[in-house]
Copies of this chain bind each other. A is one copy, B any other.
């Protein structure tokens, strides 16, 4: 079961299923379990391992200057914990990662990924790792692109154009509801609904629930 999740994870893509177990032992990957509401990474920790979530869900959150807790991301099976921190040298974690349910996590020491060993597909693994880190960065870049727009309308247009670009069509469905969309764009949900209807009124877009159509 663990292997199924791993094989679907981008880090091990392109690596034959039969070679996975060999690679994992070569990399000294270790499996650990965490009970519900345990802390996997604490704010300020150094992270020498890549962690892959095998089962359960976790969340990363940051403590505000006022002590308020801000949820940053939700991590699902197949997702990474601290991949950026492990890839970077000596960066302290800006977030705390908590288990929302009982977790099974696979740890892989970053050092073992960097140091070439004799097991097969190591080049592929490195390439995948680099790809995963770069992809994370590009996703952050995409969100920044939306966040820096001055008005909600601009944010929404940037957001939708990115989806249209990926879909290769003016018409597409987004994989989230209004709440998540508002959270991503960092705007109030009702303000987002208001602006969306104004944009429809102005003939910029058409939409119904999660389906959108750009008329630009």
Task: Give the residue of B114, B130, B145 whose beta carbon is less than 8 angstroms from that of A133.
Answer: B130
Task: Give the residue of B88, B115, B131, B158 whose beta carbon is less than 8 angstroms from that of A88.
Answer: B131
Q: A84-B138, A136-B137, A138-B91 given as contacts; is B130 within 8 A of A123 (CB)?
A: no
Task: Give the residue of B89, B141, B186 whose beta carbon is less than 8 angstroms from that of A84.
Answer: B141
Binary contact track A79-107/B, C-beta < 8 Å → 1, others 0: 00000110111010010000000000000
| A158 nearest in chain B by CB position | B65
Number of A interface residues, CB 8 Å?
Answer: 39
Task: Give the residue of B116, B130, B145 whose beta carbon is less than 8 angstroms from that of A130.
Answer: B130
Can you sample 24 A-B contacts with CB below 8 Å? A65-B158, A65-B161, A65-B216, A84-B137, A84-B138, A84-B141, A87-B130, A87-B131, A87-B134, A88-B135, A88-B138, A91-B138, A94-B141, A94-B145, A116-B123, A129-B130, A130-B133, A137-B137, A140-B140, A140-B141, A140-B144, A144-B144, A147-B186, A148-B186
